[in-house]
Amino acid sequence: MNNYLIVAGIIFCIGALGVLMRKNLIIVFMSLELMFNAANLGFVAVSDRLNLISGDIFVIFVMVVAAAEAAVALGIIVAFYREKGTIDIDKANELKN
């Protein structure tokens, strides 16, 4: 189980790196998906180790939430692009001044 958890941890950190480092809105969104998937792998590994089934059920619900989130997030990205003409995340600064 520990090997799986370490792989999940590494993928999660790469996803966090993408969210913190990149400025392209779509790549930030894809890094978020990576983090979701790392968490899913952790759930499956732990519930395999403890001989439970709840972790696997939870992964299905995470997938449902991720699908809903993808639809809404891509809608927001399209609306943002229509408003600003770019998908640079630094241009989302109207609360600043």
Partner 1 sequence: MEALFYVFSFIAIFSALMVVTMRNPLTSALYLVLCFFALAGFYVLLDMQFLAVMQILVYAGAIMVLVVLVIMLLNISKIKSVKTDLHQKIIGIAISLVLLVEIIFYIAYGTTKKPTGIFTHSVIDKIGNTRVVGEFLFTKYMLSFEIASILLFVAIIGAYLFAKKKF
For position 77 contacting partner 1 by CB under 8 A, the verdict is: yes
Shortest Cβ 43–partner 1 spacing (Å): 10
Name which position in 39, 44, 95, 96 contacts partner 1 (CB under 8 A).
44
Considering the complex, what minimum distance in angstroms separates the CB of residue 66 from partner 1? 7
The Cα 60–Cα 66 span in angstroms is 10
CB of 95 to partner 1, least distance (A): 18
* Interface residue with partner 1, options 39, 53, 94, 96 (CB under 8 A): 53
- Mapping DSSP onto H, E and C, the string for 19-70 reads HHHCCEHHHHHHHHHHHHHHHHHHHHHHHHHCCCCHHHHHHHHHHHHHHHHH
